[in-house]
């Protein structure tokens, strides 16, 4: 397609969450108008877009309006119905494509894609097995235990996942997950978790950010550090090459995040991917000359994709609604004035009306000239916020 030039086009987003909100901000900074389709009358992205279509993702009237009024359309979360993307693709440019999103929506299909891509990259997924019926459950190789049983679809932030150590625990866990199709992954001894963000255009041009080292708490990303403090250069380069191969093999268009495990024995294992900007890439908003959201806009609009340049060491702290609750009660806003008094702090709140435990309310980026300086300030900010100092 011809490039959709800034100031002369309207971009659509399926989904009204915080990722859509930050996409809209990036698009508007370039001069695009934005339309968000989301069923929630009050959504972070809908509140800042020029137009909010309040409709279900499969509502034919809403989809028709989105296609009529937009020049190109993207999604801000992976669980949008692939059928909605297929419907829109019959009328407008849609990126990423429904087929690529569908791969990311099913862990079993995703694992198969990783294995196919590994023929080029050499980076494989963890040993695993698909469980969709009682026969497959009975045939599980005991070598996969202990493991993590994950629903094939709709799992995120640690949801739809259970740890199991024995065949009896596995059977009970499958019952608890309502015998939905699942993937059992062998538990592996982790040394570190990392992710790589790539952006790919319809013309095949692909760029990437540096590897990002991540810390999760309770299955939810808590901290990202760039440069990755504990990752050898060769591990980072292997992860980058593997992520680029995964995107190319999907003929992907847009921003894609691929997550990896670095194991105690030195192996690199690919874990999962997200067909959108990712929490672990939020540091790019303040630590890079082009953010992951601007690259999402550029890829959708068919604009050139510059190779991102990191200009600052960065630490990202994820801010959950738990921070608004104290022993004295709540919800009460945290001491942002004290946090923002620290050098290099950049607060991004998502405009959500109500703080709830476990709800993503925002993130804090800390930038500095050196990784040591960024880390030191991040620890100070964590202490003010009451966050663990385990990074």
Count Cβ neighbours within 10 Å for each residue of 334-373 and write b for 16 or more, e otherwise: beeeebeeeebbbebebebeebeeeebbbbbbbbbeebeb
Give the Cα separation of 315 and 212 in Å (integer): 10
Give the Cα separation of 13 and 365 in Å (integer): 25
> How far is Cα of residue 152 from the mean position of the Cα atoms in its chain?
17
Establish whether 187 is an annotated binding residue. yes
Task: Report domain extents, the chain.
Answer: 10-94, 127-186, 190-385
Question: Please, what is the Cα angle at 257 between 78 and 358, to 5 degrees?
Answer: 60
Establish whether 156 is an annotated binding residue. yes
Yes or no: say if 254 and 199 are a contact pair by the CB < 8 Å rule. Answer: yes
- Check residue 353 and give its pLDDT: 86
Establish whether 318 is an annotated binding residue. no
Establish whether 150 is an annotated binding residue. yes
Q: Burial level of 113, CB count in 10 A (0-12/13-18/19+)?
A: buried
Residue 10 vs residues 76, 77, 255, 302, 344: alpha-carbon distances, Å: 16, 20, 19, 13, 34
Establish whether 16 is an annotated binding residue. no
Q: Going edge to edge, which strands form the sheet with 72-75?
A: 51-53, 33-37, 10-14, 72-75, 93-94
Establish whether 157 is an annotated binding residue. yes
- Check residue 168 and give its pLDDT: 93
Same fold, 10-94 and 127-186: no
Establish whether 136 is an annotated binding residue. no
What topology is assigned to 10-94 in CATH? Rossmann fold (3.40.50)
- Check residue 329 and give its pLDDT: 67
Establish whether 294 is an annotated binding residue. no
CB neighbourhood size of 309 (10 A): 9
Establish whether 107 is an annotated binding residue. yes
Yes or no: say if 319 and 18 are a contact pair by the CB < 8 Å rule. Answer: no
Establish whether 161 is an annotated binding residue. yes
- Check residue 159 and give its pLDDT: 72
* Pairing of β 313-320 and β 212-217: unpaired
CATH of 127-186, one of 3.40.718.10, 3.30.1490.20, 2.60.120.10, 3.30.1330.10: 3.30.1490.20
Q: Which run of H or E residues covers position 191?
A: strand 190-200
- Check residue 79 and give its pLDDT: 87
Establish whether 272 is an annotated binding residue. yes
Q: In which residue ranges of the chain is pLDDT below 70?
A: 1, 155-158, 328-330
What topology is assigned to 190-385 in CATH? D-amino Acid Aminotransferase; Chain A, domain 1 (3.30.470)
Establish whether 57 is an annotated binding residue. no
pTM for the model = 0.94
Establish whether 216 is an annotated binding residue. yes
- If phi > 0 it is left, if psi is from -120 to 50 it is alpha, else beta; for residue 25 that is alpha
Establish whether 217 is an annotated binding residue. no
Establish whether 285 is an annotated binding residue. no
């Amino acid at each position: 397609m011809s490039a959709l030039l800034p100031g002369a086009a309207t971009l659509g987003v399926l989904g009204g969450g915080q990722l859509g909100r930050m996409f809209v901000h990036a698009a508007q900074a370039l001069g695009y108008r934005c339309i968000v389709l989301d069923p929630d009358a009050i959504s972070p992205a809908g509140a800042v877009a020029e137009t909010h279509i309040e409709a279900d993702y499969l509502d034919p009237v809403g989809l028709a309006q989105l296609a009529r009024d937009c020049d190109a359309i993207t999604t801000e979360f992976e669980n949008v119905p692939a059928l909605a993307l297929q419907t829109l693709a019959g009328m407008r440019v849609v990126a990423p494509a429904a087929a690529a999103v569908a791969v990311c929506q099913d862990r079993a299909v995703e694992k198969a894609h990783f294995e196919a891509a590994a023929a080029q990259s050499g980076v494989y997924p963890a040993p695993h097995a698909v469980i969709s019926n009682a026969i497959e459950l009975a045939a599980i190789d005991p070598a996969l235990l202990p493991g993590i049983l994950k629903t094939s679809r709709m799992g995120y932030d640690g949801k739809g996942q259970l740890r199991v150590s024995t065949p009896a625990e596995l059977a009970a866990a499958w019952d608890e997950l309502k015998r939905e199709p699942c993937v059992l992954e062998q538990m592996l001894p982790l040394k570190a978790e990392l992710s790589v963000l790539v952006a790919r255009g319809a013309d095949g041009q692909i760029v990437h950010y540096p590897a990002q080292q991540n810390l999760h708490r309770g299955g939810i990303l808590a901290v990202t550090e760039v440069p990755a403090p504990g990752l050898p250069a060769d591990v980072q380069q292997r992860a980058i090459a593997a992520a680029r191969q995964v995107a190319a093999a999907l003929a992907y268009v847009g921003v894609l995040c691929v997550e990896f495990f670095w194991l105690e024995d030195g192996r690199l294992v690919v874990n999962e991917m997200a067909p959108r900007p990712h929490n672990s890439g939020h540091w790019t908003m303040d630590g890079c000359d082009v953010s992951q959201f601007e690259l999402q806009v550029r890829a959708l609009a068919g604009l050139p994709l510059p190779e991102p340049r990191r200009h600052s060491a960065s630490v990202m702290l994820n801010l959950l609604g738990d921070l608004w609750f104290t022993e004295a009660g709540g919800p009460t806003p945290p001491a942002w004035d004290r946090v923002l008094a620290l050098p290099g702090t950049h607060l991004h709140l998502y405009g959500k009306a109500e703080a709830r435990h476990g709800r993503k309310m925002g993130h804090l980026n800390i930038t500095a000239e050196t990784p040591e300086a960024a880390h030191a300030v991040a620890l100070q900010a964590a202490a003010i916020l009451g966050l663990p100092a385990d990074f």
